[in-house]
Amino acid sequence: MTETLTQHLRDAGLRVTGGRVAILNAIENLPHSDAETLVGVLRESLPGTSVQSVHNMLHDLTKAGLLRRIEPAGSPSRYERRIGDNHHHLVCTDCGAIEDVDCAIGEAPCLTPSQKAGYAVTSAEVTFWGVCAACQAAAANQTSDPPFIHES
């Protein structure tokens, strides 16, 4: 895996560094991670990694097309390695979990605005909001539990 990530960095014209490889590897294993999560992961293998350096690396990797930045409303930016296809996201309104969902239309852009105002539309971001299966199950368990009665 590291050799492949190293080659991706070289192909993108980026210098290969331990931090960049570590971020790409972390996002492969923890898709839709935010910067704070990635700082914690990197500090385990690269102690002394600063928050600013992680943000700089995320910016560089996104600009180079090796990461995709998504920004669900009300939550910090997240990063993923699934790039080069047309997919959307499901976001749980209870726990914030994010799942990829393939676009039913296929190629981008799958939606077109009623007025383009001179733009050449290249993509559309769609975010579906709902409650994930785990949160639904947890809610069902809470409603099926009998109320607690304190006896004196």
Token reading at 31: 């898709």
CATH placement of domain 1-84: 1.10.10.10
Per the listing, tokens 């007025």 go with 115
Q: Hey, where are the domains in the chain?
A: 1-84, 86-146
The owner of tokens 């923890």 is 30
Condensed to tens digits (0 to 9), the pLDDT of residues 47-93 reads: 999 999 999 999 999 999 999 999 998 889 999 999 888 888 999 99
Q: How much is the pTM?
A: 0.80
Question: In CATH terms, is domain 86-146 a member of 3.30.1490?
Answer: yes
